């Protein structure tokens, strides 16, 4: 079991685990967590191979190792807890809730990138998504990780993030691009590992799915498919925000979470 790096914030009685997006770390969610310091004790994890955490086992599915690490953290600190996930981190939180419902009080999913669920639903956006990501997939296949990093951040990162990065930071980002194709087996591909749409029907904990109003069309489709399938799920849209909404709009997101949690 990987011993992942964590950051702790708050001192309230209610416990929560925050799970960051790809090519990031738990540090990215600290501003959001800061809005609940009095009510909650929160842990932000650095997923395997990201931030300050050790590298995962390359012979095993990456998302599976992330889920196992998060299960261990909740078990160590005591559950059930609120799980908050962003992007890939939201897929980790959702799979954890399906596997171990005893550990989860509620779910907050910021734009979960479970694109394979669109395949299950027969959604037409799945095919257009494959086309939209064609240049990125080509760069990965050709081993051009610098180009892949530029394309990835331009579509999914903070506005203008790639242009602002110094050359040394771009190099570091390109070296971490392995994490994106490592996720495909569990979130996109038609594999035995990936959660299927019907499994969401069994995730009964209260769930809030939030997307940005300015996010790519595929996120509109994914969040609607998820929210329509889960039995106790509400969908919220934060207008003026994009895929990085818990980072760029932390205060507005905190307000939505406070209402959802009834704090």
Average pLDDT of span 127-147: 90
The string of DSSP codes covering 83-113 is: EEEETHHHHHHHHHHHH-GGGEEEEEEES--
pTM: 0.96
Domains of the chain (ranges; CATH) run 6-261 (3.40.50.1820)
Neighbours of 142 (CB within 10 A): 10
Mean pLDDT (the chain, rounded): 95
**Does the pLDDT value for residue 130 go beyond 90?**
no
Please, what's the b/e burial string for 7-44 (b: 16 or more CB within 10 A of its CB; e: otherwise)? Answer: bebbeeeebbbbbbbbbbbbebbbebbebbeebbbbbb
Q: How confident is the model at residue 131 (pLDDT cuts 50, 70, 90)?
A: confident
Task: Give pLDDT, residue 244.
Answer: 96
Task: Give pLDDT, residue 133.
Answer: 85
Neighbours of 221 (CB within 10 A): 21
pLDDT single digits (tens) 24-61: 999 999 999 999 999 999 999 999 999 999 999 999 99
Average pLDDT of span 63-83: 96
**Does the pLDDT value for residue 200 go beyond 90?**
yes
Q: How confident is the model at residue 1 (pLDDT cuts 50, 70, 90)?
A: low
Strands 6-9, 40-45: pairing is: antiparallel
**Does the pLDDT value for residue 2 go beyond 90?**
no
Rounded-to-5 percentages of helix, strand, coil across the chain = 50, 15, 35
């Amino acid at each position: 079991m990987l011993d992942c790096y964590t950051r702790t914030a708050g001192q309230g009685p209610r416990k929560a685990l925050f799970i960051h997006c790809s090519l990031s770390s738990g540090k990215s969610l600290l501003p959001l967590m800061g809005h609940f310091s009095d009510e909650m004790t929160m842990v932000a994890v650095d997923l395997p191979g990201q931030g300050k955490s050790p590298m995962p086992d390359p012979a095993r599915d990456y998302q599976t190792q992330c889920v196992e690490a998060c299960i261990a953290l909740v078990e160590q600190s005591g559950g059930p807890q609120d799980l908050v996930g962003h992007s890939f981190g939201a897929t980790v939180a959702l799979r954890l809730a399906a596997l171990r419902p005893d550990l989860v009080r509620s779910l907050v999913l910021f734009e979960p990138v479970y694109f394979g669920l669109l395949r299950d639903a027969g959604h037409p956006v799945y095919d257009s998504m494959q086309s939209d990501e064609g240049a990125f997939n080509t760069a990965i296949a050709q081993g051009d990780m610098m180009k892949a990093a530029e394309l990835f951040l331009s579509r999914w990162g903070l506005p203008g993030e790639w242009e602002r990065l110094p050359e040394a930071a771009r190099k570091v980002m390109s070296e971490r691009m392995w994490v994106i194709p490592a996720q495909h087996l569990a979130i996109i591909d038609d594999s035995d590992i990936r959660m299927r749409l019907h499994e969401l029907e069994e995730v009964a904990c209260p769930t809030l799915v939030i997307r940005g109003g300015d996010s790519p069309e595929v996120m509109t489709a994914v969040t609607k498919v998820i929210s329509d399938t889960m039995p106790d799920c509400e969908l919220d849209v934060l207008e003026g925000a994009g895929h990085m909404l818990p980072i760029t709009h932390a205060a507005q997101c905190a307000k939505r979470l406070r209402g959802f949690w009834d704090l």
